[in-house]
Structure 1
Amino acid sequence: MTITCTEDFRRLYKARVPKMFHDYAESGSYTESTFRCNESDFTRLNIRQRVGVDISEIDTRAQMAGEDAALPVAFAPVGMLGIQNIGGEIKVAQAAKQKGVPFILSTMSVASVEQVAKATGAPFWFQLYVVKDRDFVRDMIHRAKASGCSQLVVTMDLAMLGQRHKDVKNKLSIRPTLKNLINIATKPRWAYDFVSGPAVSFGNVVGHAKGVDDLASLLTWAAEMVDPALDWDDIAWIRKEWGGPVILKGIMDVEDARIAADMGIETIVVSNHGGRQLDGAGSTISWLPKIADAVGDRVELLLDSGVRTGMDIFRARGLGASGVLLGRAMVYALGAQGKPGVDRLLTLLEKELRTTMGLAGKTRLGDIGRGDVYWSEGP
């Protein structure tokens, strides 16, 4: 199959990965309206076509959270990445290092923060879930620091779990049901890699969280440790433990953005968890300009959820984001073709971004602004 775009990866990913893990990534909460709008609203944002500009040299280099990047993209934190493709976290981290873009490791990764650090030998970002066990949270912060992580990304929008009907119906578990085993048998490539690869163990949690010594106890811990008491005081405590700036992920309201700005947060990610939490929250791209207007230049904005193309990256830059996080697009490419797929995804996105910039008459990312995009209808 000739891969020319993210959609091609998505089709191949669906064919190669077991249904319960495919549905874990390719789903939202409740009616999935926000999940769908995240992607579809990008297509309602038109790009101004310009001509008569020298576009012989186009520069896609960017800065995100004060770090240089070859493209204005980072790989988003995704749980269970190492099950979508065995060794997935390390493969994506290595691809990110080679290309020169940030990789964000999830707390709920299969590979531990120490394993990723050893395999890459380069700084990466770490995403922190704030759970009830504050001793675990403190330990996780210091493990990330000791592993050389350059940024701490704190997820704010998981104080309770949104209901994801597909996961419930699929009985998503590390220990699959008979129905899931039958489906796995139809995915021989994935099954062979799973059986022949290293044992799956969520290295950030198993052996580190209280009472979590194996995968069975991990599942109980994960269901019970989501903390509904998470508030802004916790963020102040986390910043103190980390010893520097943190990035807040999951901001979807101008008031929350202002609170973050007032307490000195330097970077936030406009994110609705890929539509997997509050259904009906609206798309991230529709909220981005409102939040940008609210905080001005006090806070750097990143954006995730719904980004599939280089055109989407351009659109997000136009509405005020310095860069975007790639979640599902990364999962598609990794699940479809492993590390070569992730390498190919970055190559395609860079080509799409360069082409879009050129046809829009832009040679530098800093020249892209609000006047270069416009809504066909709606916001």
Structure 2
Amino acid sequence: MRETGATALSYGAGLADAASIRDLRTLSQRRLPKAVFDYIDGGAEDETALRDNEDGFLGWHLVHRIAVNVAERSAKVELLGREQALPLVFSPTGLTGFYHPNGEILAARAAGRMGIPYTLSTMSVASIEEVAKGAPETDLWFQLYGLRDRDWMHGLVHRAQEAGYRVLCVTLDLPVSGRRERDVHNRFTMPLRPSLANVLDLALHPSWSLGVLRSPPRFGNFEDAGTTGFTNIAQRIAGSFDASLHWGDVQKLRDLWRGPMVIKGVMHPEDAAKAVEIGCEALMVSNHGGRQLDHSPAPVTMLPEIARAVGRRAQLIVDGGVRRGTDILKAVGLGATACSIGRPFLWGLTAGGQEGAEKAIALLRHELDVAMILLGVARLSAVTPDHLRPAQRRTRT
């Protein structure tokens, strides 16, 4: 999220003073070392896709209706067979427990407390089993990457099933990691390379640094993969993504998983149709938060085409660029059942732990409720394309 001019949040402000997702970002930036913040915040190459993900929502106006009884409202949705309190999902984010001690567990608890699903990344710090034990009341989803070691990949699926995860989310847009130049400039590695700049930055952010010392980073899902030591595991993971993965492999996963399955990374209508053909119940329209292929379109701009391609055969989740409650309304009006958020909850988590992650949801919930009143809709199902009109493309600041 780009900022221009002075931030509205004073330097003495805390979590209680945050009035928007943008404010949570400011608090997160102040707490984290630059290299760590940029790893969360940055995108691929020129970061065009990253900017467009947010700005894509500005391509639509909301047209309100008047004299509508909206005294009683509900933002609940049915998502993959379960009622959710809000049309939101926590996106899978790698290394969440590195950004904040016990980050995955705290984020999962926050999601559960606020009545929405949490998606655990394959590249989590806490393991599949630890998160399931730490957040037993949460609707847990497990995100799986395509890995060269198919037996290990299928083993992760079995572990998630046995641990009680309800939904499998297969990410297909990462056959190789995108070029994220902020990380190159910061010399960001896992573990952090002890350069002079990094050492000074860590010293300037003692609360975060002490947290890492008390809870060193690890890859919980890979610790029993026959490789020991964090650095060795990190090197093994770096070479584990599989560029040869194809629809036949995805079909095997569909056959293996007993429950709803989501394909994440869908950006083309033909891919959406194919995913539905093999039995996937939901699609996550996503360009990986602008972190993979730069100059890819904003997911929200592809939503109408994908909605036409799948009709009512699958639910759609828009991933990327959601920063306001009005963004959620626009996505619903264009055919989405829900939106998934990554950076917003990470900014909240790193600013204030579980309370900060809950704050991110609460801010969006309040904005969504106000927007529903002003739009003149009492239920999300009442939001239709008729509430939207194309707008001149602008840039969010």
TM-score, normalised to structure 1, is 0.96
* 1:135 equivalenced with 2:131 (yes/no): no
Offset of residue 264 of structure 1: 2.4
Q: Which moved more, 1:288-297 or 1:73-82?
A: 288-297
Map of 2:166 onto structure 1 = 150
Distance 1:244 1:98, change over 3 A: closer
- Which of 281, 293, 301 is 1:278 aligned to? 293
Map of 1:227 onto structure 2: 242
Say whether the 8 Å CA contact 2:254–2:278 is kept in structure 1: no
Aligned counterpart for 1:206 among listed residues 220, 223, 228: 223
Is contact 2:50-2:291 (8 Å) kept?
yes
What is the Cα-based RMSD across aligned positions, in Å? 1.4
The answer to whether residue 123 in structure 2 is matched with residue 108 in structure 1 is yes
Matching residue of 1:250: 265
Match of 2:5 in 1: none
Structure 1, residues 35-66: CA drift from partner, whole Å, max 9, x if none? 10000111222111222111111101111122
The DSSP-based 3-state class of the residue aligned with 1:354 is helix
CA distance in 1 between partners of 2:146 and 2:116 (Å): 26
| Stretch deviating more after TM superposition (164-173 or 358-367) | 164-173
The 8 Å contact of residues 261 and 280 in structure 2, kept in 1 or not, is answered as yes
Q: Residue 51 of structure 1 corresponds to which residue in structure 2?
A: 66
- For residues 293-332 of structure 1, what are the structure 2 equivalents within 5 Å? 293-332=308-347
In structure 1, the residue matched to 2:372 is 357
Q: Residue 12 of structure 1: SS of its match in structure 2?
A: helix
User: Which deviates further from its counterpart, 312-321 or 185-194?
Assistant: 185-194
User: Residue 192 of structure 1 corresponds to which residue in structure 2?
Assistant: 210
Contact kept in structure 1, 2:254 and 2:280, CA below 8 Å: no
Q: Deviations over 1:329-379 (max 9, x none)?
A: 01111111111111111111111001001100000011111111222036x
Cα distance in 2 for residues equivalent to 1:214 and 1:309:
41
Residue 311 of structure 1, CA deviation: 0.8
2:63–2:375 contact (8 Å) kept in structure 1: yes
1:186 counterpart letter in structure 2: L
5+ residue gaps, structure 2, are 1-12
Amino acid at match of 1:72: P
SS in 1 for 2:279: coil
Aligned counterpart in structure 2 of residue 175 of structure 1, from 191, 194, 215: 191
Percent of aligned pairs sharing the same letter: 37
Whole-angstrom distance in 2 between the partners of 1:346 and 1:246: 24
In structure 1, how many angstroms separate the alpha carbons of the residues matched to 2:279 and 2:166? 18
* Residue pair 2:166, 2:260 contacting (<8 A) in 1 also: no
**Partners of 1:97 and 1:367 in 2: CA distance:** 26
Structure 2 CA distance for aligned equivalents of residues 85 and 245 of structure 1: 30
Determine the structure 2 residue equivalent to 1:119: 134
Secondary structure of residue in 2 paired with 1:250: strand
- The one-letter code sitting in structure 1 at the alignment partner of 2:309 is A
1:204 match: secondary structure: helix
- The answer to whether 1:337 aligns with 2:355 is no
Following the alignment from structure 1 to structure 2, what is the Cα–Cα distance between the partners of residues 104 and 264?
A: 20
- Once residues 237 and 181 of structure 2 are traced to their aligned partners in structure 1, the CA distance between those partners, rounded to angstroms, is 18
Q: Provide the residue aligned with 2:36 in structure 1.
A: 21
Q: Give the distance between the partners of 2:186 and 2:107, measured in 1 at CA.
A: 26
Provide runs of 4+ in structure 1 moved above 3 Å.
none
Cα distance, 1:279 vs. partner? 0.7
1:206, distance to aligned residue in structure 2 (A): 2.1
Q: Distance in 2 between matches of 1:182 and 1:62?
A: 47
Give 2:380's aligned amino acid. Answer: L
Q: Distance in 2 between matches of 1:341 and 1:62?
A: 24
Q: Which piece of structure 1 moves more, 70-79 or 176-185? A: 176-185
Q: Distance in 1 between matches of 2:378 and 2:257?
A: 38
Range with greater deviation from structure 2 (174-183 or 26-35): 174-183
TM-score (norm 2): 0.92
- Work out which of the residue numbers 74, 80, 83 in structure 1 matches 2:98: 83
Runs of at least 5 residues in structure 1 that lack an aligned partner in the other structure: none
Cα distance in structure 2, aligned partners of 1:175 and 1:96: 28
